[in-house]
Amino acid sequence: MESLTTPNSNGGSSIQLNSGYLMPLVGLGTYKLSGDQQLVDSAIYAALQCGYRLFDTAKLYSNERELGNAFEKLLPELGLRREDIFICTKFWALPAESASVEVPKLVEESLVNLKTSYLDLVLIHYPKPGPPQAENNSDAEGNSASRRECWKALERIPKDKVRSIGVSNYEVRHLEEMGHYASVVPSVNQVEFHPHFRRTDIRAYCDKQGVFFQSFASFGRQNSELLNDPAVVEIVAKHNTTPQNVLLSFATSQGVGVVPKSTNPQRIRANFDCLQLKLSAGDIQKLNTIPERGHYIRNTPWLVL
């Protein structure tokens, strides 16, 4: 996918989605940023102040209302408008028979909670109904129908309410299947991605189809085998930086989006510095040739029929 990459007003970079809208390359993941409005405000303030403009949430995170409160308070304080930020949320796929009614309700709920008149991006969080641990991986007919009806319901949402739509944790076969029912090509596929789990097949398919490849879990849940991988350590020393910034730059230097999560203002600022680190072709090659160890997140969408 040859997506347009352009600098934004805060020195970051944005890519142009197939919907025509610009999305920042680096965003703040908000998983576990909940339960304390003061904590949420502190994290969002730090993020906005240092240049983050993409904020990634989900129904699963149970923080849409707190984020909405934070945006309502902090955007004016910092001289920003709603149009200056990009909000993405996600919802679990629903049973096919309820999707046409429930998907619009979920969207309306997010609009109210996030105190906004529109959402920049809405993703189907997983390629089957319910959480990843639910015992329905092998229900090929039910899962396929769920994906189809949820997507068609998203397509029907007015564009002035949801600007772009996409998916998360979709494998190539799930994306290929969409060719039989989708009128709109997904703008984004968000998946786990790092040097130990490079998802080469999905990246290639997304590039070919014009679907932006966005990553989560760039640090592999802070797994020591990833952070202390000899190739990572070597590049850290070469650039006098941190393992986290090397792992984020591994993605951004290849045009892959990232949404690192943190509740710590200092770490939030440090993660945004990945945009200042440009790995060389040799650095990328070194990281692309180390043995893959597999996933560190419990999600196993490749098992979903």
User: What is the set of active-site residues?
Assistant: 61
DSSP designation for 200: H
For 209-232, the DSSP string reads HT-EEEEE-TTTTT-HHHHT-HHH
User: What is the rounded distance in angstroms from the CA atom of residue 32 to the CA atom of residue 217?
Assistant: 13
Residue 196 annotated as part of some ligand binding site: no
Do the beta carbons of residue 121 and residue 23 sit within 8 Å? Answer: yes
CA 170, 62, 24 angle in degrees (round to 5)?
55
Do the beta carbons of residue 167 and residue 123 sit within 8 Å? Answer: yes
Partners of 192 in beta bridges: 216
Nearest to 69 by CA among 120, 31, 33: 33
CA 101, 187, 130 angle in degrees (round to 5)?
45
Helix (H) or strand (E) holding 165: strand 162-168
Binding site for substrate: which residues?
125
